Structures are given as C-alpha cells and as structure tokens.
C-alpha cells in the first residue's frame, strides 16, 4: 500500500509541472500573413522542476479535420516555429489579473497555410521533475487561418 502512495505522489508531482497553451485560445482565428503570439503557461507547483526545452510547431489538418481519430500530430508535428529553452516567468500584475508563470513567443503565420486552413498548433514540453523524473508532454489545439 505504501509503494502505491509513493508512485501516486510521483505521478501527481509530474502532472503538476505540466504546461498549458494560454494563447491563442482553441478555435481562434489567426489572420494569414500576420504575426501571432503563443503563450505557454506553467501552473505554479510546490514540486521543484528544471525546464529543459519546448518545441512549438504547426501542421495542416487533414481534409477530414483535426478531430479525425487517425490524425496524430505526434507523428508529424509539421513546421517547427521554435525549438529551444523555456523559461517561464511570473508577471507583475496583482490579483485578479495575476497569471501563472509563462513565456510568450511571437511568430509569423507560415505561408504554407492558406486563408481558410484549419491547423493544429502543438507545444512539446520536456522537463526534469523532483528527483530526476522526466516529464514529456505534447499539448495541441486547433486554430483557423483566416
């Protein structure tokens, strides 16, 4: 029973270090031939962690849509917009506007995505949690190029 509690607490610690895509919101329209900002949030946690890297990428959804169960962004993340360090910081605002630690990344919408395209934005995150556990995760959301 004790070993189950230890394993459960380690799993909970890993998930507490996960990221969220703070912006753009799922289903957002992003204008073609402009810049857009991706905000990557890391909710606060009492468990220590060391950020290793993130990859931000976009790929076209198939004609059947991003919700097609055969579409797997982990197999082909598409056009890599950023790969490198992730260093989330607290903002200076006070409650209720206070945000979790985050980092913003701004990119031009790739020319490969035409007006009217449905695209998948993905953020791949790697960190070391607590006593050397590795957290690897991919967060996705669908956007519309307009």
Domain segments of the chain as ranges: 2-145
d(CA 88, CA 41): 7
Enter the pTM of the model.
Answer: 0.84
d(CA 73, CA 45): 28
d(CA 50, CA 37): 24
**Angstrom distances, CA of residue 136 to CA of 11, 14, 38, 61:** 12, 9, 19, 23
- Tens of each residue's pLDDT in the chain, 146 residues: 444 334 444 444 444 569 999 999 999 999 999 999 999 999 887 677 889 999 999 999 888 888 888 887 777 789 999 999 999 998 877 677 778 899 999 999 999 888 889 999 999 999 998 777 899 999 999 999 99
Region 2-145: CATH code: 2.60.40.10
C-alpha Rg value of the chain to the nearest Å: 17
């Amino acid at each position: 029973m004790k070993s189950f509690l230890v394993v459960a607490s380690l799993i909970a610690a890993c998930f507490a270090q996960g990221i969220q895509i703070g912006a753009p919101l799922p289903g957002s329209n992003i204008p073609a031939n402009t810049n857009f900002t991706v905000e990557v949030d890391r909710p606060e946690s009492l468990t220590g962690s060391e950020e290793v890297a993130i990859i931000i990428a976009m790929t076209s959804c198939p004609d059947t849509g991003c919700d097609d169960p055969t579409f797997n962004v982990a197999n082909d993340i598409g056009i890599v917009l950023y790969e490198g360090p992730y260093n989330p910081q607290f903002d200076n605002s006070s409650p209720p506007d206070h945000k979790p630690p985050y980092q913003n990344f701004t990119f031009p919408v790739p020319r490969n995505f035409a007006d009217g395209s449905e695209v998948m934005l993905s953020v791949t995150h790697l960190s070391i949690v607590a006593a050397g556990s590795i957290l690897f995760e991919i967060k996705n959301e669908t956007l519309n190029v307009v």
